[in-house]
């Protein structure tokens, strides 16, 4: 078993542990022992277990991006179910991950109850991954195996829209979940966080969406 050590870090640094040669049974046992009420995130891919302890900054960014998704779906009158950092597992694929946030929007009517079973349920339509100091690229392999169609990845103080096309993830200008929304627009509202509170930012986003919907070009996206 190989362990990647963690150095003491400030509140802005996400901590990460990687363990190799871990069986699926051990992974499931660790999940059960850790319980649902925890801040750490687990991911598993073909014997490699990664444990992430998000920083305060990581969670602040995640919270704001979640508000963007809920605001956009509200304003566009799209049904949704949010599952936070729920565990997404496929034992047959030996793949599992806990995203920072995930949502069902296009496939919301196919989800029953508040538990996800990927043997019968589709994967989330949209996943949020926040990279402050720890890259999420390892989890992209898992999400590809699970068939997650869209990821909003925060990287280097900006957001990328990453979409599954022909079996590979590619960076796209516009969101597949919200076709009128570009990564450039999301990043403009993210920049407001340097000087504005969350409510002010969300109010500005609502105004932008309503103005966009009134514009004839909104139907062209």
Tens digits of per-residue pLDDT, 63-76? 999 999 999 999 99
- Give me the residues paired with residue 174 across strands: 182
Stretch 172-185: mean pLDDT: 97
Distance CA 75, CA 78 (A): 8
For residue 115, give every residue at least 6 positions away whose Cβ sits within 8 Å of its Cβ, in sequence order, or none. Answer: none
pLDDT number for residue 217: 63
Positive or negative, the CA dihedral 100, 115, 113, 111 is: positive
Residue among 95, 79, 97, 100 nearest 87 (CA): 97
pLDDT number for residue 82: 94
| Domains of the chain and CATH, by start | 56-220 (3.90.1570)
> Predicted confidence band at 218 (pLDDT cuts at 50, 70, 90)?
low
Positive or negative, the CA dihedral 102, 132, 190, 186 is: negative
Distance CA 119, CA 75 (A): 32
End-to-end CA distance of the chain: 50
Buried b (16+ CB within 10 A) or exposed e, 131-164: bbebebeebbbbbebbebbbbbbbeeeebbbbbb
Name the average pLDDT for the chain. 89
> Predicted confidence band at 138 (pLDDT cuts at 50, 70, 90)?
confident
Q: What angle do CA 74, 202, 207 make, to 5 degrees?
A: 75
pLDDT at position 168 over 60 = yes
Residue of higher predicted confidence among 72 and 216: 72
């Amino acid at each position: 078993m190989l362990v990647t050590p963690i150095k003491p870090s400030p509140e802005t640094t996400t901590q990460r542990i990687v363990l190799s040669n871990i069986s699926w049974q051990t992974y499931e046992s660790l999940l059960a022992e850790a319980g649902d009420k925890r801040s750490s995130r687990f991911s598993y891919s073909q014997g490699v277990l990664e444990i992430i302890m998000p920083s305060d900054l990581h969670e602040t960014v995640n919270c704001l991006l979640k508000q963007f998704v809920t605001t956009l779906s509200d304003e566009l009158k799209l049904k949704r179910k949010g599952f936070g950092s729920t565990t997404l597992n496929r034992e047959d694929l030996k793949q599992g991950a806990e995203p920072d946030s995930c949502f069902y929007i296009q496939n919301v009517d196919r989800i029953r109850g508040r538990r996800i079973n990927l043997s019968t349920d589709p994967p989330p339509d949209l996943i949020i991954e926040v990279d402050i100091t720890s890259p999420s690229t390892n989890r992209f392999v898992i999400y590809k195996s699970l068939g997650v169609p869209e990821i909003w990845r925060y990287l280097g103080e900006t957001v990328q829209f990453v979409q599954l096309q022909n079996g590979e993830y590619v960076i796209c200008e516009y969101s597949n979940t919200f076709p009128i929304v570009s990564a450039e627009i999301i990043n403009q509202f993210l920049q407001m966080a340097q000087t504005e509170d969350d409510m002010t930012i969300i109010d500005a986003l609502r105004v932008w969406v309503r103005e966009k919907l009134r514009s004839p070009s909104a139907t062209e996206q």
